[in-house]
A and B are shown apart, each in its own frame.
Chain A
Amino acid sequence: MTNITVSTSELSRSYGARTAVHDISFELRQGEVLGLLGPNGAGKTTTLQMLAGCLAPGAGRIEICGIDLLERPREAKALLGFLPETPPLYRDLTVDEYLRFAARLHRVPKADIPAALERTKQRCGLADTGKRLIGSLSKGFQQRVGIAQAIVHNPRVVILDEPTVGLDPIQIREIRSLIRELGGKYSVILSTHILPEVESVCDRIQIMDRGQLVFSGDFAELKQAHPEQASLEEVFIHLTQQEEQA
C-alpha cells in the first residue's frame, strides 16, 4: 500500500462543452517511470495539470501517497514536483535565487536549503550557473532549471510535461539519463509524443487518445496485447487510428 505513490480514479475534465479527459484511472508505484503517450490534443497536459493541482478535476479522485489532493492539497502538493510544458521561470532572478525561492515555496526548512540547492544543481548539471540570470541561459539550461525546480524539495512524485521539447540531441540524452536516475528514487510521470523517448526511459506506458486511456501496462504486456505489431510505433498508430475509424 505504501509504495503506491499516485492513484487516480475516474478522472474527468471538460472545457465548456469539449471533454478533454474522460474517466482516467491508474496507479503508479514508487521507483517507476510512467510514460504518458498520445497524439497532440489527447489530454496529456490536462491530465498532468490535474495531478499537479494546477487544474481542478471535473470529477474523480487523485491521491498522492494516500493523501487526497483535493481535500488536503497542502500536504499532497508538498510531495509533488511539477515541470509544466513551459518551464515556470522568472527571468530576472539568478538560478540560485530562483531555486531558493522554489525550495522555500515547497517548505524546505531554511537550514536545509543550501544543501538542497547544491545537491539539485549537481544532479541537473547546473553547478557553474548558480550566479547567472535565468533569462541569459540557453533553452537547454533553462529546461534543466525547470527540472531542478521540480526536484529541489525531494518530492516523492515528479511530473514532467514534455521535458525534452526543443532541446538538441545531446541535451535530450542528458535529460533522459537524468530522468532515468530520478526514476530510481522517485516516481516519475512524463508526457511526450516522442516514441523512442518512452522506449528508452519508461518502465510503463499509457497511451491516451482523445481524452481516454487506450492502453496501460509495461512493454511485455504491450507485446502480448498486440502481437501483430512489431514496434511501439506501430502499436501507437494502430491504437490511435483505430479510434478514428470507429
Chain B
Amino acid sequence: MIFTIAAKELKTLFASPLAWIILAVLECLLAWFFLGQIDAFLTVQPQLAALANPPGVTELIVTPLFGIAAMIMLMVVPPLSMRLIAEERRNQTMALLLSAPVSITEIILGKFLGLMAFLALFIGLTALMSFSLYSGAMLDLELLAGNILGLVLLAASFAALGLFISSLTSHPIIAAIGTLGAFLGLWVVDISARDPDSLLHYLSLLKHFESFNRGVIATADAAYFILFTVLFLVLAVRRLDRDRL
C-alpha cells in the first residue's frame, strides 16, 4: 500500500514539467561546478605532486561537489514537498485516501518514499557524475560512499520536515516558503553560536552533514538525521490524523 502511494506520487511529479525542469537545471549547475573543480584541480596538480601526502582527486573534486549538492537540495525540496499534502487538501482529494482501507501512517510513509525516490534520483546523478572520474583517476570510493550516505540522510530529513510543514496548511506556496525558511534556519543556526559545544551548534544540519562530507561516518551524526526524520514523520501522521477529529 505504501508503495502504491509512493508510485503515484512519483508519477504525478513526472507528469508535471516541474520535476523534469528541476532535474535538468540542477544537472547543468552541478556539471558546471564539477568542470570548474576539475579545471582547478588540473592547475594545482603539479604543485600537489611535490607534496609528501597530497589530497586526492576525491577530496578536491567530489567533496566540494557533494557540498554544493547539499545546498541545492535545500532549495529543491520545498517546491517538491509543498504539494504532498497541502495540494490534496486544496483539491479536496484527501477523501480518496482517507476513505480507502489504508492507515494515516501508510499515507505519510507513501508520500515520504515517493519524494525520497525522486531525491534519490538526483543523488544518483550526482554520484554518477563523480564516478565518471574513475576512468582517469584513483577515486576514494569509501569517501564517495560516505558522501552519498550523508546526502541521502540529509535528503530524508529535508523530505520529512517538508512533508510535515505541508501537512500544516492547505496552501502549497505557504508550505514551500515555510519549509525553505525552516531549512535555512537549521542550516545557519550555528553561525551565531560561537561555542562549538553549544546546543545551537548541535542542532545545525550543516555541522552534521560536514562530517559525512569529510568522510567521517559517526553514529551521532547518523542518529541525528534519523531521529530528525522520524520525529517529523510522526508529527505529520499526528497532524493528518487530527483532520478526522
* CB nearest to B5 among chain A residues: A105
**Across the interface, which residues of B come within 8 angstroms of A76, CB to CB?**
101
Contact string, B6-22, partner A, CB cutoff 8 A, digits 1/0? 00100110011000000
Contact string, A35-76, partner B, CB cutoff 8 A, digits 1/0? 000000000000001001111100000000000000001111
Q: Assess whether A82 is in contact with B99, with CB atoms less than 8 Å apart.
A: yes
Q: Assess whether B92 is in contact with A74, with CB atoms less than 8 Å apart.
A: no
**Across the interface, which residues of B come within 8 angstroms of A80, CB to CB?**
99
Q: Assess whether B99 is in contact with A86, with CB atoms less than 8 Å apart.
A: no
Q: Assess whether A55 is in contact with B101, with CB atoms less than 8 Å apart.
A: no
Q: Assess whether A93 is in contact with B12, with CB atoms less than 8 Å apart.
A: yes
Cβ of A185 within 8 Å of any chain B Cβ, yes or no, is: no
Q: Assess whether A54 is in contact with B99, with CB atoms less than 8 Å apart.
A: yes
**Across the interface, which residues of B come within 8 angstroms of A101, CB to CB?**
4, 8
- Number of contacting residues on B, CB 8 A? 23
Contact A82 B11, CB 8 Å, known A77-B101, A106-B101: no
Q: Assess whether A105 is in contact with B244, with CB atoms less than 8 Å apart.
A: no
Q: Assess whether A84 is in contact with B92, with CB atoms less than 8 Å apart.
A: yes
Q: Assess whether A102 is in contact with B101, with CB atoms less than 8 Å apart.
A: no
**Across the interface, which residues of A come within 8 angstroms of B8, CB to CB?**
90, 93, 101
**Across the interface, which residues of B come within 8 angstroms of A107, CB to CB?**
1, 101
* CB nearest to A74 among chain B residues: B101
Q: Assess whether A106 is in contact with B12, with CB atoms less than 8 Å apart.
A: no
Q: In this complex, which of A73, A89, A90 has the most chain B Cβ atoms within 10 angstroms of its Cβ?
A: A90
**Across the interface, which residues of A come within 8 angstroms of B94, CB to CB?**
54, 88
Cβ of A104 within 8 Å of any chain B Cβ, yes or no, is: yes
**Across the interface, which residues of B come within 8 angstroms of A53, CB to CB?**
98-99
Cβ of B245 within 8 Å of any chain A Cβ, yes or no, is: yes
Q: Assess whether B244 is in contact with A86, with CB atoms less than 8 Å apart.
A: no
A151 to B93, CA, bound (A): 17
Q: Assess whether B15 is in contact with A74, with CB atoms less than 8 Å apart.
A: no
A149 to B95, CA, bound (A): 12
Nearest CB of B to A25, in Å: 22
* CB nearest to B16 among chain A residues: A92
Nearest CB of A to B20, in Å: 13
Nearest CB of B to A101, in Å: 5
Q: Assess whether A52 is in contact with B1, with CB atoms less than 8 Å apart.
A: no
Q: Assess whether B12 is in contact with A56, with CB atoms less than 8 Å apart.
A: no
Nearest CB of B to A120, in Å: 15
Contact A88 B101, CB 8 Å, known A105-B1, A105-B4: no
**Across the interface, which residues of A come within 8 angstroms of B5, CB to CB?**
105
Nearest CB of A to B93, in Å: 4
**Which one of B15, B91, B98, B245 contacts A93 once the chains associate, using CB atoms below 8 Å?**
B15
Cβ of A97 within 8 Å of any chain B Cβ, yes or no, is: yes
**Across the interface, which residues of A come within 8 angstroms of B91, CB to CB?**
86, 88-91
Cβ of A78 within 8 Å of any chain B Cβ, yes or no, is: yes
**Across the interface, which residues of B come within 8 angstroms of A106, CB to CB?**
100-101
A77 to B95, CA, bound (A): 12
A200 to B244, CA, bound (A): 34
Could you jot down 24 A-B contacts, CB within 8 Å?
A53-B98, A53-B99, A54-B244, A55-B244, A56-B245, A73-B103, A74-B102, A75-B101, A76-B101, A78-B101, A84-B99, A85-B92, A86-B91, A88-B92, A88-B96, A89-B93, A90-B12, A92-B15, A97-B11, A102-B96, A104-B1, A105-B100, A106-B101, A149-B96
Q: Which B residues lie at the A interface, using CB under 8 A?
A: 1, 4-5, 8, 11-12, 15-16, 91-103, 244-245
Q: A52-B95, A107-B101, A149-B96 are in contact. List 18 more A-B contacts (CB 8 A).
A: A76-B101, A84-B92, A84-B95, A84-B99, A88-B92, A89-B91, A90-B8, A92-B16, A97-B11, A101-B4, A102-B96, A104-B1, A105-B5, A105-B96, A105-B100, A105-B102, A106-B101, A107-B1
